[in-house]
Every structure is written in structure tokens, then in C-alpha cells.
């Protein structure tokens, strides 16, 4: 794991994932930072990926931490790295079609901390629909 003053490179499933602003406080009371969150995502990725089911997700981003304002992002972040299993999918949900980031790899889930995404909500569509 290499680092500089405000960034850290984590290795997730053999891939390097850059985390910027590692000291940014996301959870003030327990004093958890972006780096803490990235490490947590690495630790729970196996079960989290099983639960996500490879479905399109809506990201809930908290740029100023959990106590700040948040917003919902249905489309995959621009400038994201392309890894196998981390593509944008078109999903049909009821009568509407939407694109959403598919979180199906450990590097992808870890990279979400750079946005910072503190929640992701999986779509209801089945994999066979897209």
C-alpha cells in the first residue's frame, strides 16, 4: 500500500484503487475517514457483492460527510475506471428504462469511497432483464 500526503492506493482483488482526500471526515462522531470507509468496504465486499446481485444501483453521495447534504446519482460517475464486471447497465424496471452503475467487483465497491458514496441502493430488476 503506497501513499502520499492526501491520497492512498489500496489493492482490491489484485487491482490498484486510488483513494483521494483520505483524511476527509465522513462520520464525525466516531471520526471515520474516507480511508476507513474504503478499508471497511474491502472487508465486507464479499457479502455486499452477494447482496448487490450485480444489479444496477443508485448511489447516495455525501460530499461533506454523513451530517452534510446528500444527493442521489442514478448514472455511473464520469471518469470512472473500467474493470471487468464494473460496467454501466441498462435495466428495465417496470415500464421505465434507466442506466445505473453495476457494482459487481471489489475494486468497484472500494472506488465508490472516492465519490464519496455512503449508500447504494440496488435496483429491483432481475439480471435476466438486462
- What is the tens place of the pLDDT at every residue in 70-113? 998 877 666 655 544 444 444 444 445 555 677 778 888 888 88
Q: What pLDDT is recorded for position 21?
A: 92
Structural domains of the chain, with CATH? 7-129 (3.90.920.10)
Q: What pLDDT is recorded for position 55?
A: 72
User: Residue 22 — pLDDT band, cuts 50, 70, 90?
Assistant: very high
The answer to whether residue 116 scores a pLDDT higher than 80 is yes
Q: What pLDDT is recorded for position 117?
A: 85
Q: Which residues contact 33 (CB under 8 A, 6 or more apart)?
A: 22, 23, 24, 25, 26
| Rounded CA separation 40/110 (Å) | 9
Q: What pLDDT is recorded for position 3?
A: 42
**Minimal CA–CA distance to 98: which of 121, 130, 70?**
130
The answer to whether residue 33 scores a pLDDT higher than 60 is yes
Q: What is the pTM of this model?
A: 0.74
Q: What pLDDT is recorded for position 94?
A: 42
Sign for the pseudo-dihedral over CA of 36, 62, 106, 5: negative
Please tell me the total number of residues recorded for the chain in this structure: 130
Amino acid at each position: 500500500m503506497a501513499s502520499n500526503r492526501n491520497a492512498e492506493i489500496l489493492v482490491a482483488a489484485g487491482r490498484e484503487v486510488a483513494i483521494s482526500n483520505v483524511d476527509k471526515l465522513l462520520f464525525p462522531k466516531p471520526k471515520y475517514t474516507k480511508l476507513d470507509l474504503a478499508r471497511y468496504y474491502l472487508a465486507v465486499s464479499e457479502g455486499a457483492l452477494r447482496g448487490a446481485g450485480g444489479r444496477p444501483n443508485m448511489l447516495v453521495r455525501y460530499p461533506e460527510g454523513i451530517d452534510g447534504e446528500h444527493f442521489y446519482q442514478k448514472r455511473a460517475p464520469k471518469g470512472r475506471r473500467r474493470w471487468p464486471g464494473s460496467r454501466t447497465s441498462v435495466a428495465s424496471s417496470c415500464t421505465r428504462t434507466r442506466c445505473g452503475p453495476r457494482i459487481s467487483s471489489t475494486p468497484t465497491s472500494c472506488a465508490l469511497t472516492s465519490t464519496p458514496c455512503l449508500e447504494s441502493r440496488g435496483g429491483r430488476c432481475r439480471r435476466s432483464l438486462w
